[in-house]
Structure 1
């Protein structure tokens, strides 16, 4: 009986230890609501709207005028603040990055209910509440930067502290994803994440996501937060797109014919020939 109990406890601890390696990729939006005299306003209705999906979340400000939207998916948002006796405040063009912390303060003015104050200028993207040194690669860069291998993890090479450690150029080969040294540490100590979940990019044991499905890539050269404490190297976090309310898709074709490639400078082995043939016919669609 004691043996079975000990085994159950060990299994449970192992399960939760495995889950603890996951890092949440979602961010947060917070701020304070005040009036024209800088006095806080409690009980204001704050509505967070996702521009792409139309999903809305409603919160109330606290007694100190503070509000917080936690676990916010990366994307574009707008915030509306309403309070009886005050005009409506609207902040648009809010961009939440992976693990981002955006501050949006609202100042309400006294007046008619139908009076609106709309701010179109995007709030500061500077992460005041984090000490990480991150490089953000957005969706536009991920899809338009030309890469033969179509591997979003290799986009980290544009980071100043990134050094490629392998000449692997096969499309979708997962073993090349972690072949980048970050911040002076070795690639064997990097932390690779997709939507907050760790992915083992060893030899052919997983597949990197399609670059067309990537929302953004975050490259961290010093993972100092508690959630990243288990990694001694850099961090590469890929966030996939959450989708919209409209049907859309992309496609691509990659073909390399023997006539367009230079002849090998050394005798071609059987393994080298198989790699060349695979590169000639590789294609994919989404």
Structure 2
């Protein structure tokens, strides 16, 4: 009986390990108008889609970090007595991204708010990976023959080829792409951090994806982090939608 219990407990570990790779991170520094660090400020990140939120307090250097955040659109709020509230909204956090958000607090009352909206295009400066992320808004707007999101990988420069079966909405083909000139069996398909490529059936996935349930498609082609092993050519990663409020 003890052995069975241990097997059940450890069986849950791989899923948790995979899931963290399809999450993102928001970190930054809180400073005043003279660029001096502000310790003890309360920082809250809120998922604008479902209302989930987390809070932390800046350290002596004014630094804060929120790891393992699910993919989504976030707001960051910074509060400290004697300063105006700082709010930055519409921050699009993608899988495996590390977003830097710095807050500048102005002297004033907490009833006063300084609100900043994120720019539509945010340059990734914290990692060197070569990737293309297609979010849910783009997925819905694009004319996609067959409505099979695997074909979106062809939008990334360096991805070529693809089979006619890709246009079938029920196809479980991995697309048969060539990434950076590599063979079509040298990349892997992932869904929510779990391997979806069938190891004993070349060119097939464990199931077809649906554009209505996919939140974003990420194509990694070079310089991605070590935890994205298993493939020499690249990765096609699907992140499915989460719940809403």
Q: TM-score surpassing 0.5?
A: yes
Give 1:259's aligned residue: none
Quote how far apart the aligned CAs of 1:16 are: 8.0
* Change in CA separation of 1:236 and 1:113 when aligned onto 2, cut-off 3 Å: same
- Which residues of 2 match residues 94-133 of structure 1 at below 5 A? 94-122=91-119, 125-133=122-130
Question: Counting strand residues as a fraction of each chain, which structure ranks higher?
Answer: 2
Q: Aligned to 1:149, what secondary structure does the other structure show?
A: helix
Q: Which residue of 60, 82, 86 corresponds with 2:83?
A: 86
Unaligned runs of 5+ in 2: 1-9
Give 1:174's aligned residue: 172
Unaligned runs of 5+ in 1: 1-12, 246-286
8 Å contact from structure 2 (residues 45, 55) kept in 1: yes
CA distance in 2, matches of 1:204, 1:112: 59
Question: Counting helix residues as a fraction of each chain, which structure ranks higher?
Answer: 1
1:49-84 Cα offsets, whole Å, 9 max, x none, are 111111111111111110001111111111110111
Q: Aligned to 1:235, what secondary structure does the other structure show?
A: strand
Give 1:227's aligned residue: 227
1:240-275 Cα offsets, whole Å, 9 max, x none, are 111212xxxxxxxxxxxxxxxxxxxxxxxxxxxxxx
Structure 1 vs Structure 2 CA RMSD: 2.6
* Change in CA separation of 1:159 and 1:49 when aligned onto 2, cut-off 3 Å: same
* Change in CA separation of 1:22 and 1:182 when aligned onto 2, cut-off 3 Å: farther
Q: Larger relative CO (CA 8 A, sep 6+): 1 or 2?
A: 2
* Change in CA separation of 1:212 and 1:164 when aligned onto 2, cut-off 3 Å: same
Q: What is the TM-score with the length of structure 1 in the denominator?
A: 0.74
Q: What is the TM-score with the length of structure 2 in the denominator?
A: 0.85
Rg (Cα) greater in structure: 1
CA distance in 1, matches of 2:83, 2:157: 48
Matched, 1:47 2:49: no
Q: Aligned to 1:146, what secondary structure does the other structure show?
A: coil
Matched, 1:36 2:26: no
